[in-house]
């Protein structure tokens, strides 16, 4: 990617999607302090924590999900050195030659691994990625055919260099995995559900972690690190370095707002499955990444996804006569496989999305 001579036209965004030179910095993206729960395994059944502080926290999480679909958390209990270690390992991995990185390259069969050709909305992203599954192997649907029940496995591919890369990634996965389930408990409580309401969907989770590497870009005014999109899973926990570049589309006016890096914070965003489960009480937010000509940037999203056989539909507890379901059920594993396949190619049509299952009332 960095070895391109002239600027490759496959990266060029349509005029209306190009970044503005001076983006607005984050104003009002909620920053939530998780200290009331950060040292406990369990959100609800803890005698040492003050119920009033949990209640206040649940309110904050609920209103952030409702109004933004995006927030940051601090005092989240994931040790700083976990993050520093995975960031350092990722930098060492991406600094290698293309030839080395391609030894663990992803293809149509091996879905996990290194990749530098991803397209979002059919324009190529200015980035390189390394993907791995939270469960190894990850149990997935074998085909996109709705009548085919057969399953397949995605297996992680680990590079030889840097040393301990795998262990470092797995430690990070464990800690952020715990945090993400605590966030799911807070979200459940904020919807008036039992804290562990969502746990059943994650027994055979298909969650993935991605190392995103954005090299300096010679034409940052024409390209994007990741084009505008919504995350299609349940919830994303993202760690970003100090460079900045993530932008969220503000609901009130459609303006792209930069999410200013907050040292030590994680960025949380609601995904499409949460939007369907909550029948749009909480909606996924559109976001994108701008790049710059000077500094490389690293970000690490944990995409929380349910088991492949999960039928995604609005939760019964949130449906009544006044709130009829806004979505028809769809099977997550089929959606996921269609998406993964199409990421390899430039399509001439819009990719599968939850709007395809929306019921017009
Ligand atoms: O790099 C970032 O800040 C966000 C990346 C992202 O949105 C994604 O990988 O889905
Ligand atoms: Fe994203």
* Polymer length in residues for the chain: 361
| 326 C-beta closer than 6 A to ligand 1 | no
Neighbours of 332 (CB within 10 A): 24
Q: What percent of the chain has pLDDT over 90?
A: 80
Atom of ligand 1 nearest to the CA of 212: 1
Residue owning the nearest CA to atom 3 of ligand 1: 246
Weakest mean pLDDT among 3-12, 135-144, 257-266, 267-276 = 3-12
The 10s digit of each residue's pLDDT in 152-171 is 999 999 999 999 999 999 99
DSSP string, 152-190: EEE-----SSSTTHHHHHHHHHHHHHHHHHHHHHHHHHH
Residue owning the nearest CA to atom 7 of ligand 1: 288
| 240 C-beta closer than 6 A to ligand 1 | yes
Which H helix or E strand runs over 337?
A: helix 332-342
Whether residue 12 is contained in a domain is answered as no
The 10s digit of each residue's pLDDT in 264-294 is 999 999 999 999 999 999 999 999 999 999 9
For residue 239, what are the β-bridge partners? 300
Q: Two tokens at 195?
A: 């804290």
Angle between the 165-190 and 51-67 helix axes, to the nearest 10 degrees? Answer: 100
User: Is pLDDT at 224 greater than 90 in this prediction?
Assistant: yes
| 308 C-beta closer than 6 A to ligand 1 | no
Shortest CA distance to 217 belongs to which of 125, 105, 115, 123? Answer: 125
Shortest CA distance to 79 belongs to which of 133, 131, 39, 37? Answer: 39
Whether residue 179 is contained in a domain is answered as yes
Neighbours of 250 (CB within 10 A): 19
User: Is pLDDT at 4 greater than 50 in this prediction?
Assistant: no
CA–CA separation, 272 vs 355, rounded Å?
A: 10
pLDDT band of 142, cuts 50, 70, 90: very high
Whether residue 14 is contained in a domain is answered as no
- Mean pLDDT within 17-38: 84
Mapping DSSP to helix (H, G, I), strand (E, B) and coil, where does residue 53 land?
Answer: helix
- Cα 239 to ligand 1 centre (Å): 9
| 272 C-beta closer than 6 A to ligand 1 | no
Angle between the 165-190 and 80-94 helix axes, to the nearest 10 degrees? Answer: 130
Average pLDDT across the chain, whole number: 92
Atom of ligand 1 nearest to the CA of 267: 3
- Cα 50 to ligand 2 centre (Å): 34
CATH of the domain at 227: 2.60.120.330
- Mean pLDDT within 171-186: 98
Burial 159-186 (b: 16+ CB within 10 A, else e): beeeeebeebbbbbbebbbebbbbbbbb
- Cα 236 to ligand 1 centre (Å): 9
Residues 6+ apart with CB under 8 A from 341: 108, 144
| 301 C-beta closer than 6 A to ligand 1 | yes
Pairing of strands 226-229, 138-141: unpaired
Which pTM was predicted?
A: 0.94
- Cα 230 to ligand 1 centre (Å): 10
Is-cis flag, bond preceding 78, omega within 30? no
Tell me the HSE value of 283 on the side-chain side, using a 13 A CA sphere.
13
> How confident is the model at residue 344, as a pLDDT?
57
Rounded to two decimals, the ipTM of the complex is 0.99
CA–CA separation, 241 vs 298, rounded Å?
A: 6
| 287 C-beta closer than 6 A to ligand 1 | yes
CA–CA separation, 331 vs 114, rounded Å?
A: 27
1 contacts 19 by C-beta, under 8 angstroms:
no
The 10s digit of each residue's pLDDT in 313-360 is 999 999 999 999 999 999 999 999 988 876 655 555 667 899 999 998
Whether residue 50 is contained in a domain is answered as yes
Question: Best of 26, 70, 212, 217 to mutate for ligand 1, by most ligand atoms within 8 A of CB?
Answer: 212
Mapping DSSP to helix (H, G, I), strand (E, B) and coil, where does residue 119 land?
Answer: strand
**Residue-range definition of the domain harbouring residue 256:** 25-357
Residue owning the nearest CA to atom 10 of ligand 1: 231
Burial 94-109 (b: 16+ CB within 10 A, else e): beeeeeebeebebeee
Number of compact structural domains in the chain: 1
pLDDT band of 47, cuts 50, 70, 90: low
């Amino acid at each position: 990617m960095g070895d391109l001579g002239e600027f490759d036209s496959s990266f060029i965004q349509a005029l209306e999607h190009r970044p503005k030179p001076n983006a607005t910095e984050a104003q009002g993206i909620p920053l939530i302090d998780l200290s009331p729960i950060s040292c406990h395994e369990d959100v609800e059944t803890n005698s040492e924590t003050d119920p009033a502080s949990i209640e206040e926290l649940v309110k904050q999480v609920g209103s952030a999900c409702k109004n933004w679909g995006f927030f940051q958390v601090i005092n989240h209990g994931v040790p700083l050195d976990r993050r520093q270690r995975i960031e350092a390992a990722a930098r060492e991995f991406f600094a290698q030659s293309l030839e080395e990185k391609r030894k663990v390259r992803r293809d149509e069969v091996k879905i996990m691994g290194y990749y530098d050709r991803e397209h979002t909305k059919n324009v190529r992203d200015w980035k390189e990625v390394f993907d791995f599954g939270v469960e190894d192997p990850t149990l997935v649907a074998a085909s996109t055919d709705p009548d085919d029940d057969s399953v397949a496995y995605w297996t992680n591919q680990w590079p030889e260099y840097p040393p301990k890369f795998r262990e470092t990634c797995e430690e990070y996965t464990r800690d952020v995995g715990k945090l993400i389930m605590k966030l799911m408990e807070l979200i459940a409580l904020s919807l008036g559900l039992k804290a562990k309401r969502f746990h059943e969907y994650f027994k055979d989770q298909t969650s993935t972690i991605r190392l995103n590497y954005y090299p300096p870009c010679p034409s940052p005014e024409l390209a994007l690190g990741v084009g505008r999109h919504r995350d299609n899973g349940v919830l994303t926990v993202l760690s970003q370095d100090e460079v900045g570049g993530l932008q969220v589309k503000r609901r009130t006016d459609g303006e792209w707002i930069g999410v200013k890096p907050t040292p030590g914070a994680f960025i949380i965003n609601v995904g499409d499955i949460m939007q369907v489960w909550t029948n749009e009480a909480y909606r996924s937010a559109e976001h994108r990444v701008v790049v710059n000509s000077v500094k490389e940037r690293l970000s690490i999203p944990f995409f929380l996804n349910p088991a492949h056989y999960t039928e995604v539909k609005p939760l019964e507890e949130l449906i009544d006569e006044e709130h009829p379901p806004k979505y028809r059920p769809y099977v997550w594993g089929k959606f996921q496989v269609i998406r993964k396949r199409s990421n390899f190619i430039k399509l001439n049509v819009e990719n599968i999305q939850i709007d395809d299952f929306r019921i017009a009332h």
